[in-house]
Chains A and B, each alone.
Chain A
Amino acid sequence: MNDELFLNEQVRVVAVFGDGLNPCRPLRFRRLNGREFDITEIGLRHPTMQGKRMLHIFDVTDSCTDYRLEFDAQQLTWRLTREADHVDK
């Protein structure tokens, strides 16, 4: 049925802030278990409100698995909230 795992894991993220249509681009993230993932593509970034709090949701991939990273614009924290099934290259 569905191929996603729902998580709520704080992660460390390397991101660049620039200009253009996508001013914030996460490049790499590290999970609590120490594993690091290089982001090869940002599928879609969309903002959403949690009450008055703005979350920027990044649907990203490392070319094997799709992930969802959420950036809390108030707390300035990143969380990994979704992980899809792994696909072999």
Chain B
Amino acid sequence: MLINDRYNTEPSLIMHVDLNSAFASIEQQSRPMLRGKPIAIINRRTEHTAIVTASYEAKSAGVKVGMKFREAAKLIPGLIGIESDPPKYRYVYRKLMAILSSYSPNVVMKSIDEGIIDFHGVPLQKTLIEIGYEIKKRLREEVGCAMRCNVGIGPSRFLAKTAAGLNKPDGLDVVDATNLRKVYKTMKLTDITGIASHMQHRLNAVSIFTPIQFLDTDMVSLQKVVFKSVNGIYWYQRLRGYEVDDRTTDVKTVGRQYVLENRDLTHSQIQARLHNLCESVGYRMRSQNKVARGVHIYIRTVDRKYWHTCTMSQIPFYSDKTINTIAQQLFLSAPGNVQEIGVRCYELSNNDNPQVSLFNDEVVREQQLVGAIDDINQRFGDRTVHSANTLNTGRFIKTKIPFGSTRYL
């Protein structure tokens, strides 16, 4: 052990809980006849769609997340495709959150299937390992016997997450100053949370090929040579178990995209779908109490070409009508052969009682109208009131589970 004295030797008081193959496990829980069978969760009932989650039975045959269902079905002919069921997943998410929140007031849900419990300042009657096993037991009792989770314990969020990824499924591990070096020896660079292929190439370029080499690189080299930013310092500390990830990120953009259901849609049909996306983006943005100044749209064509454009406004806006007007204007210059469309609002700021001109009745009326429509939709269900132009598009563009964020759950 060369530089053990520099590792964070604080007690392990962070716990990371991660549901195993969450959506697939929830489906197998709710439908007992699917247990033990290879299933894949998809967002659309077509074999061209990508797999969102696969059960462990499917994963063992080589099915991976992101793979096309058709390709996966070649690997396992009996593969069952199940369309995702967001209300069910939200219910399990809330159950998981309730279980985690019963142990500490400091719980942060990182995504729909994982959460972090911070035990700092919490009087403990049991060890964290005992609590970890208790959470697993409660999950089986309160949600269902098919539910499994991985629990990771560490002195920082990063090490707890690393521990939660070690022995899947149903593992419980502790990674701290005493064993982090040993754990890194068993891992590849891309096994580290936050290191994907692009970052791997960057590290490889400076002769860092393993997590141990990454760990042993000094802080100055990481800062000045590898990352050329403060991120180098963060990585140096993160790898040693110091907490650098305890911060909340503000929402910067709100967007949605949609892959067209078929390629024969007319221009006006695509415009209607774009309008639907704008309504969805507007609703999400307002739910976060934000206003935007920019709209960005993109198109991916059938021959995989990417086209995008954006525009900024001087005055902040937040109504569906304004977002749609700007997006439709941008869409006029879009290429043909559209396969996928996306719209995103950016330059967001808080909608903190914006001052309205005394003489601008139209703005006041719009604010009241948008507020009333949102109230109705909240009370009577999503898209109870929507633009006539988007009629019948709702059955194609369904609300799906957003990954990586729990803002809209």
Residues in chain A within 8 A of chain B (CB atoms): 1-3, 21, 41, 43-44, 46-52, 57, 59, 61, 63-66, 84, 87
Contact = CB atoms under 8 A, between A and B. Distances in A.
Given A44-B26, A47-B91, 16 more contacts: A1-B47, A2-B81, A2-B82, A43-B29, A43-B31, A44-B30, A44-B92, A48-B87, A51-B379, A51-B381, A57-B88, A59-B31, A61-B31, A65-B33, A84-B31, A87-B33
Q: Is the interface of A mostly helix, strand, loop or mixed?
A: strand
Contacts of B92: 44, 46
B366 interface: no
Contact of B30 (A49, A59, A87): A59
B380 A52 contact: yes
A21 B141 contact: yes
Interface residues of B, number: 27
A24 to B, nearest CB: 15
Given A1-B45, A1-B47, A46 B34 contact: no
Contacts of B69: 1
Contacts of A63: 32-33
B24 to A, nearest CB: 13
Interface in B24-64: 26, 29-34, 45-47
Q: Which of B29, B30, B46, B381 has the most CB of A within 10 A?
A: B30
A50 B381 contact: yes
Nearest to A86: B33
A43 B34 CA distance: 11
B173 to A, nearest CB: 28
A79 to B, nearest CB: 16
A57 B231 CA distance: 47
A2 B29 contact: no
Nearest to A55: B87
Interface of B: 26, 29-34, 45-47, 69, 80-83, 87-88, 91-92, 141-144, 379-381, 384
Contacts, number: 60
Given A1-B45, A51-B379, A44 B33 contact: no
Contact of B32 (A3, A49, A61): A61
A46 B34 CA distance: 18
A64 B32 CA distance: 9
Contact of A46 (B47, B91, B141): B91
A66 B31 contact: yes
12 contacts: A1-B45, A1-B47, A2-B83, A3-B80, A43-B29, A43-B31, A43-B32, A44-B91, A50-B381, A57-B88, A59-B31, A61-B32
A66 B91 CA distance: 20
Contacts of A1: 45-47, 69, 81
B34 A2 contact: no
B195 to A, nearest CB: 36
Contacts of B143: 44
Q: Which of A1, A47, A65 has the most CB of B within 10 A?
A: A1
Contact of A44 (B29, B45, B83, B380): B29
Contact of A84 (B33, B91, B142): B33
B403 to A, nearest CB: 20
Contacts of A65: 33
Nearest to A65: B33
A52 B380 CA distance: 6
Contacts of A50: 381
A49 B380 CA distance: 9
A75 B358 CA distance: 48
A28 to B, nearest CB: 17
A46 B87 contact: yes
A85 to B, nearest CB: 8
A2 to B, nearest CB: 6
B341 to A, nearest CB: 25
A88 to B, nearest CB: 11
**Nearest 8 Cβ contacts at the A-B interface:** A44-B30, A46-B91, A59-B30, A51-B380, A51-B381, A43-B30, A66-B31, A48-B87
B88 A66 contact: no
B379 to A, nearest CB: 6
A44 B141 CA distance: 11
Contacts of B81: 1-2
